[in-house]
Structure 1
Amino acid sequence: MQLKSRDMIKLKIDNKSIEVREGIKLIDAARDNGINISSLCYKKELPHYTSCMLCMVKDNRTGKFIPSCSVVVEEGMRIDASGPEVIAFRREALSLLLTEHRAECEAPCKVVCPVGLNIPLMNRYIQKGDFSLASQLLYFEMGMPESICSVCSRYCEKACRRKMIDAPVAITAIKKFVTGSTGPAPIIRQTEKSAKIAIIGAGASGLIAAFSLAKYGHRCVLFEKSNRIGGTFISELSARGLPASLPDNEMNFLVNSGIEIRLNTPIEASDLENTLIPGFDIIINASSGNIGSDKIDPGETYILFEKDTRILDGKYIFFVGSAAKHDKLVIRRIGNARKSAEAIHNFLQTGILSKPKKRFNSTIGEIEEDEKREWLKECPEKTQRFTEPGSEEECIGEALNCMHCDCRAIDDCRLREIAENLNIGNPKLKLVNHPLEKKINRTNKLIFENSKCIKCGLCVRVSTDETDNPSLCFTGRGFISMITEPLTADFDSILLTGADNAINVCPTGALAKKE
């Protein structure tokens, strides 16, 4: 049915004139016309009340701030939805929410890993007995997992929260078993706009940079002056008493993932100017030697280290690994090469030169003694420890000791997304309104962590409260209010049907399913 003119009203949002149907919420009017307004507590099809205050806008007619999720559009409104005052208001509101958000986006073991391996996810695959997926994750994120771990000082185990209880999970031994028993996993290529990239030097940094870029579909050609790949990485393994043959299978895996290798091919200044510059979109120098052209201009910006970006005849030359900054620890050189590759890929997609953007990461703050054992609720009551697992059963047994202190919504958290959009950092101090607590419904595998909850109430409103299927509800008042099960029910009886709906509307990962 065509709407009559009296059913439509006119207003301005961010100086954009729009015409919308009478009676709709201001936030919907903006979104329907391509103007994004953030919110954590609003879902169009559910009953609503304002709580997060992230959708605040300014009514320029009155000079007052109003919640766009509750206010209905009016004729002649002049709304500021993105001005400095509005953004400052939202940043303050978000900072208050984060002060109570005692949760970690990423587990400490992943944060300290030089190559950023998602260790809790690997452990979850192993707990299910899916060694194939665990292997695929290891090779996809690390390229040379066994070789890289052989030169690492086990930062992951030093950061493992399990040691608060007894001993850290044997992460390195688990990875060694998985890679030794399953071998290299097939690489799933991502299809995006691709470039032809020349990489000088086939040492560890060059190989990892090439592999990281090849995963995105870029065509990488490695030029190595010697008759084998690996460079000084081979001698560093030998210096640690490890066999020089250790990385051979893994390096061959990298080559077979679509990287072209040209051995016995030193690159001189003339080769750079006459062959690489005209034949490739960009050049990466991963060699510790000097590529030696006096025509190279220093770049005005850099991606990771000062002077790691230069220009020759309009083409960019990026320096990675030891070529960018020498570090005596090979594991850090490899990690930096991976970060540089991510920044180079971003440049190829966007045309913008910038450092790899560090993702927002919430932290818990100080942990009380009686809170430490809350993480153990995800572990079996009786577990064995295997410092050197020698079978799949032992590997599964040790992985079961992982307490999963990461967030399962790590890649689908609206709170994290908005924090990054508003450029908010994690508050140094956390307000403790309630102790850390992890509730697990043993019937439907629903997990609820109240320290992650921002009390938006979406899970309450999306659920149907029935006698034989009670839903979550609010208890308490004001700052001490919280989401919990009703007084007349226990958590094992909550949301026996409809749990997935509650998980899907949760904006913070406070609700999740135990795998």
Structure 2
Amino acid sequence: MIKLKINNKEIQVEAGTSVMKAAQSLGFDIPNMCWHDELEHFTSCMLCMVKDHGTGKLLPSCSVNVVDGMDIETDNEEVAESRKTALELLMSEHTGDCEAPCQIACPAHMDIPKMNRLIAADKLDEALQVVKKDIALPAVLGRICPAPCEGACHRKTVDEPVSICLLKRITGDEGIESEIQKVPSTGKNVAVIGAGPAGLAAAYYLQLKGIQVTLFDKSQKAGGLLRTALSEEILPKEVLDKEIGSILKTGVLFEGGTEITAEKFAQIKNEFDAVVLATGAISENAEVFGLKSNPKGIDAERSTYQTSDEKVFAVGNVLRSSRLAVRSVGQGKEVAFSVLQFLNNQEIKGEPRLFNSRVGKLVAEEFAEYLKESVPGKRTFPKEGGRSGFTKEEAIAEAKRCLHCDCRAIDDCKLRTYSDHYQVDQKRFKTSARRNITKQINHGSVVYEPQKCIKCGICVRLTEKYSERFGFTYVGRGFDVVIGVPFDEALEKGLTETAEKVAKSCPTGAISLKEKE
């Protein structure tokens, strides 16, 4: 037996055990990309580096076996910097979007591609669930949003953007909302002042998190400028009332006709565990709240919306005047994360945002590659014209135009997870223009996108172990080496028995299951 220390814990393991396996037996998880439990080590990604204090050297833990007397540290500043550099080298050749550009451009950060795929599959109810994770008023915004997401749509580069706004609208109009899953009460109560788009969204998402919300507004009916500044032709009152009703059904209490004076505000702060200000533009009335402000509105921390009073948060036009309702709705959703963190005595960070790989604008050579997962044809317009909105058939046809430019491995990509943890700079080692994206979809169950591959070799070793006739191999030499099916055979010949296993083992989105979602 070999005796050693890992992170100051003594352990005995059999000779021939890797440092990584020894660390795992003590419960220490060492980051890795090319490691696979079924396979021999490969020492490719260099992410699993640890430090041996006995020699003062950094070692790849997956391929170095334990030695008597070793004193290993699995995580310190030097190790972290080594891992960050390894990831940045991998990212220098990795080409692909994590999140689609439309989702990044959406002020509410809605998962637009997933909504599109569900609509294309005639699953409006499920599409509505996706939308309402980020947008509390889809039917309303589907009528009034200027659609900044469409300006970022990759399809715009090919011909015309997908009609995202109208697709969102039909989910709100025709999707049936699932029964609200009651969250156990936290015992906390929060006041939201202002029942416009920002206040309604804040109230909705806080209530869903088990917080009792009371929504105050000076008007007798909720809606703010959505109710008073828009014509019936643009936004029918029945549409607005339906979506507000859906929010109130979650258990939000509404107190209309409430004038917020300095005395009333002080009372609310005393009675509630936290307060969200969403009163709209205030200018001269800022002193009512006794908060730090500027000529445009209340001062608040940009990512958390916390004001100079730690228990008061501010969103929407109370920060600065804007006619972009989707921004206010997005801030209403985001502030719920900050308030919950505050109530739980956690560090206030706001809504989590993960690392995002981005490819930028598509080039002409890539159009055909992306259209492989889409349909030809320009943008669909409602046959009824004007403000009629899509029929279900029109919506399905338009949703199919989506290029599926988000990554299929977005929720379980190791490269993304580790890049976020180590705060990677994707451009640090970029020395040339990015590679053009290609997609191999001629397989019944998987898609292969070679430009996302980091050459970890897992697919090569798995297809060899399970005796695929062709499998995967390394093609080329040196810096030009790529992974592919030998003899230029089709993807379906390379993966006949192991497609699902290989896709699930890929640490990036290079090989992914087609119907994972």
When normalised by structure 2's length, the TM-score is 0.88
Residue in structure 1 matched with residue 457 of structure 2 by the alignment: 457
Matches within 5 A, 1:337-348: 337-348=332-343
What is the Cα deviation at residue 350 of structure 1? 5.3
What's the secondary structure of 2:103's corresponding residue? helix
- In 2 relative to 1, CA 306–186 (structure 1 residues): closer, same or farther, beyond 3 Å? closer
Distance (whole Å) between structure 1 residues aligned to residue 431 and residue 413 of structure 2: 19
How many residue pairs were aligned?
500
Aligned residues: percent identity? 35
Residue in structure 2 matched with residue 113 of structure 1 by the alignment: 106
What is the Cα deviation at residue 152 of structure 1? 1.9
What is the Cα deviation at residue 212 of structure 1? 1.9
Residue in structure 1 matched with residue 386 of structure 2 by the alignment: none
- In 2 relative to 1, CA 225–344 (structure 1 residues): closer, same or farther, beyond 3 Å? same
- In 2 relative to 1, CA 478–188 (structure 1 residues): closer, same or farther, beyond 3 Å? farther
Residue in structure 2 matched with residue 283 of structure 1 by the alignment: 275
Residue in structure 2 matched with residue 132 of structure 1 by the alignment: 125
Distance (whole Å) between structure 2 residues aligned to residue 341 and residue 317 of structure 1: 12
What's the secondary structure of 1:65's corresponding residue? strand
Distance (whole Å) between structure 1 residues aligned to residue 201 and residue 450 of structure 2: 40
Matches within 5 A, 1:89-488: 89-188=82-181, 195-238=188-231, 241-274=234-267, 276-288=268-280, 290=285, 303-304=301-302, 308-311=306-309, 316-349=311-344, 351-365=346-360, 367-380=362-375, 385-388=379-382, 390-427=390-427, 429=430, 431=432, 435-442=436-443, 444-463=444-463, 470-487=470-487
Residues 92-112 of structure 1, C-alpha deviations (whole Å, 9 max, x = no match): 111110111111100011110
What's the secondary structure of 2:251's corresponding residue? coil
Checking the alignment, whether the CA contact within 8 Å between 2:468 and 2:494 is kept in structure 1 is no
What is the Cα deviation at residue 144 of structure 1? 0.4
- In 2 relative to 1, CA 255–40 (structure 1 residues): closer, same or farther, beyond 3 Å? same
Asked if 1:43 is matched to 2:36, the reply is yes
What is the Cα deviation at residue 193 of structure 1? 5.1
Letter in 2 for 1:363: R
Checking the alignment, whether the CA contact within 8 Å between 2:99 and 2:406 is kept in structure 1 is yes
Distance (whole Å) between structure 1 residues aligned to residue 177 and residue 488 of structure 2: 53
Distance (whole Å) between structure 1 residues aligned to residue 455 and residue 206 of structure 2: 41
- In 2 relative to 1, CA 451–328 (structure 1 residues): closer, same or farther, beyond 3 Å? same
Checking the alignment, whether the CA contact within 8 Å between 1:199 and 1:221 is kept in structure 2 is yes
What is the Cα deviation at residue 183 of structure 1? 4.8
- In 2 relative to 1, CA 258–32 (structure 1 residues): closer, same or farther, beyond 3 Å? farther
Letter in 2 for 1:94: L
Letter in 2 for 1:447: V
Checking the alignment, whether the CA contact within 8 Å between 1:173 and 1:388 is kept in structure 2 is no
What is the Cα deviation at residue 462 of structure 1? 2.7
What is the Cα deviation at residue 467 of structure 1? 7.4
Distance (whole Å) between structure 2 residues aligned to residue 265 and residue 19 of structure 1: 69
What's the secondary structure of 1:230's corresponding residue? coil
Matches within 5 A, 1:67-78: 67-78=60-71
What is the Cα deviation at residue 302 of structure 1? 5.6
Distance (whole Å) between structure 1 residues aligned to residue 248 and residue 54 of structure 2: 64
- In 2 relative to 1, CA 425–239 (structure 1 residues): closer, same or farther, beyond 3 Å? farther
The answer for unaligned runs of 5 or more in structure 1 is 1-6
Is the deviation greater in 63-72 or in 338-347? 338-347
What is the Cα deviation at residue 245 of structure 1? 4.4
- In 2 relative to 1, CA 114–434 (structure 1 residues): closer, same or farther, beyond 3 Å? closer
Letter in 1 for 2:380: F
Letter in 2 for 1:236: A
Residues 285-332 of structure 1, C-alpha deviations (whole Å, 9 max, x = no match): 22245586788799xx96427984243xxx712222223333343332
Residues 33-70 of structure 1, C-alpha deviations (whole Å, 9 max, x = no match): 23332111112332221111111122222222210111
Distance (whole Å) between structure 1 residues aligned to residue 361 and residue 393 of structure 2: 35
When normalised by structure 1's length, the TM-score is 0.88
- In 2 relative to 1, CA 466–65 (structure 1 residues): closer, same or farther, beyond 3 Å? closer
The answer for unaligned runs of 5 or more in structure 2 is 294-298, 384-389
Residues 406-432 of structure 1, C-alpha deviations (whole Å, 9 max, x = no match): 001111111111011111133274756
